[in-house]
Amino acid sequence: MGMVLLAMTIGGLIIASILLALSYFASLNWLRTFVLGGVTVWLTGYVILLFIGSIFSEEKTLTLNEPKEFCGFYFDCHLHTTVSGVRKTKTIADKTANGEFYIIKAKVFSDAKQASLGLISVDAKVVDAQKREYRRDLEAEKNLGDQLPFDRQVLPNESFEKEIVFDLPENVKNPRLDIREGYGIDHAIEAILIGDEDSILHKRKYFDLNTDARVASY
């Protein structure tokens, strides 16, 4: 629904621009007033719906193996990710964590019927109870061996797993993984897309990382 409303808004603005140009060339003041009034009412309603959808959205924490969907072209929501495992360790090969390494096994799968799909420009980060953000430790990840890229194409009903690493404080509270994908233009569109997780002020879906699993070394 959000993409339909956005498409209608863009199409309406194009038509409104044409009508406004016509009103100026033909000196049709009534048409100009009508178009400007209609655009104002429509955009006001759209902004109200955008903020209502975001303000009343609910933050969600996904449990182990609970999927999060990603929508290609904002319609076909066939790609999914889950967290299928979490381990903690102080060392990975010769690298020692400042706090503790969280080795997170992320699974990517598709339930599409025909098309081969893939995530685009994946951004994964951990957010704690104080909303502090932590980026991946790419150097530590290199010591895990060869890993498939997040943007690997997935065939229908296919899946793959990838391990990513974060160096988190030992006393970190309620760490949760946030996975986002898309280019800058995608984020710009999604920021004004009603009901989208990446729209302005919209609450997000996180993966729970709380675990008692530990290993002495890796």
Output the tens digit of pLDDT for each of the chain's 218 residues: 678 888 899 999 999 999 999 999 999 999 999 999 999 999 999 999 999 999 999 999 999 999 999 876 555 678 899 999 999 999 998 899 999 999 999 999 988 888 788 888 999 999 999 999 999 999 999 999 888 888 899 888 889 999 999 999 999 999 999 999 988 888 888 899 898 888 999 999 999 998 654 444 44
Structure tokens at 132: 């502090």
Report the pLDDT value the prediction gives residue 216, as an integer from 0 to 100: 40
Q: Which long-range contacts (CB under 8 A, 24 or more apart) does 14-20 make?
A: none
Give residue for tokens 């759209």.
46
Give residue for tokens 């790419």.
138
Specify which residues 125 forms β-bridges with. Answer: 135, 178
Domain edges within the chain: 2-55, 60-208
Share of the chain residues as helix, strand and coil, in percent rounded to the nearest 5: 30, 35, 40
Helix (H/G/I), strand (E/B), else coil: 135 = strand
Report the pLDDT value the prediction gives residue 218, as an integer from 0 to 100: 47
Report the pLDDT value the prediction gives residue 75, as an integer from 0 to 100: 58
- CA dist 165 and 143 (Å) reads 10
Structure tokens at 101: 């390494």
130 closest CA partner among 86, 175, 98? 175
Residue 97 DSSP label: E
- CA dist 59 and 187 (Å) reads 19
Alpha helices in 90-183 (DSSP H): 138-142
Report the pLDDT value the prediction gives residue 72, as an integer from 0 to 100: 61
Beta strands in 60-170 (DSSP E): 60-62, 68-72, 76-92, 95-110, 123-127, 133-135, 159-168
Cβ proximity of 84 and 125 under 8 Å = no
Is the domain defined by 60-208 classed in CATH 3.40.718.10?
A: no
